[in-house]
Amino acid sequence: MISIKSFLKYLEFEKRSSGHTLIAYRCDLEQFFSFCYNKEIDEISAVTTRIVRSWVVQLVNDGMAPKSVSRKITTLKSFFKFLMREGYIERSPAEGVTTPKIPKKLPVFVRDSEMNHLLDDIPFADDYEGVRDKLILELFYGSGMRLSELVGLTDRDFDLKQGIVRVLGKYNKDRLIPMYKQLIHMIEQYIKVRNMEFGMNKANSFFLTGKGEMVYHKLVYRTVNKYLALVTTLHKKSPHVLRHSFATSLLNAGADINAIKELLGHANLNATQVYTHSSFERITDIYNQAHPRS
């Protein structure tokens, strides 16, 4: 069986896939190769569409979620496409294998009134961590950036005069996000408090821990969860919920969906259109309340 190392190197250096993606692809392929080994198939040329479908059926029968099964099929299709490009095979045995239908999950979001209550009415501590925590919440809600994007911010990413922040998103793609005046003022105040607390920033990170070290994912996640619990009973209280809240608020206010797509850093419009359902539900409520015949 052909080694998957060359395929993973192709993903890493040519496709610039993330570390998480590489790990997932490797695990998927190792699992498939193990299945083939149990079927006494040790040559890539012996892998047929029937074998691929048998593996998919086994995954489904084992109770694997449709989304996970779909990802594994995508992994195989990418792998065989790579082998065709390198001349190892003439036809992909994964061609024609369909992915299971994935039920759409509506985005969970915090209402505007709840976020305004949190950011305007609930007191935060006056010390460094209090100022930092409030800015983290305001920045998530005001920009829609991902957790990894916020953690990776540096001072150089902010242009306060222009009112923009540069974000390094998926696949190492940069995007610029505008900031409103209140958010810019909070950033200026945070930098002032941070520099007074720790002096010159040597951590090469915009957000720092209480000890002056680079902030990390779990700390930010716990911070968001802690404060959202004060204003919402949602089961999920994560940075991604604030990303959903950002997009939903813009859409409800009449923002163009293509503009929202660019702000979120989505590769295609399909990923953004999930928010239109939430917006339509709100429109339906307004219609039912306002129309004289409803």
Query: Which among 170, 175, 221, 236 is annotated as catalytic?
Result: 170
Phi then psi for residue 178, to 5 deg, are -75, 155
- Provide the edge-to-edge strand list for the sheet that holds 158-159: 158-159, 164-168, 174-178
Query: Which among 128, 141, 227, 275 is annotated as catalytic?
Result: 275
- Active site annotation includes 275: yes
- Active site annotation includes 244: no
The crossing angle, in degrees rounded to 10, of helices 66-86 and 5-13 is 100
CA-to-CA separations, 144 to 15, 22, 115, in angstroms, rounded: 25, 26, 14
HSE at residue 69, side-chain half, CA atoms within 13 A, is 22
Query: Which among 71, 81, 111, 240 is annotated as catalytic?
Result: 240
Query: Which among 146, 237, 244, 261 is annotated as catalytic?
Result: 146
- Active site annotation includes 217: no
- Active site annotation includes 277: no
- Active site annotation includes 72: no
Q: How far apart are CA 185 and CA 249, in angstroms?
A: 22
Query: Which among 134, 194, 237, 243 is annotated as catalytic?
Result: 243
- Active site annotation includes 91: no
Cα distance from N-terminal residue to C-terminal residue, the chain: 65
Which residues are known to be catalytic?
Answer: 146, 170, 240, 243, 266, 275
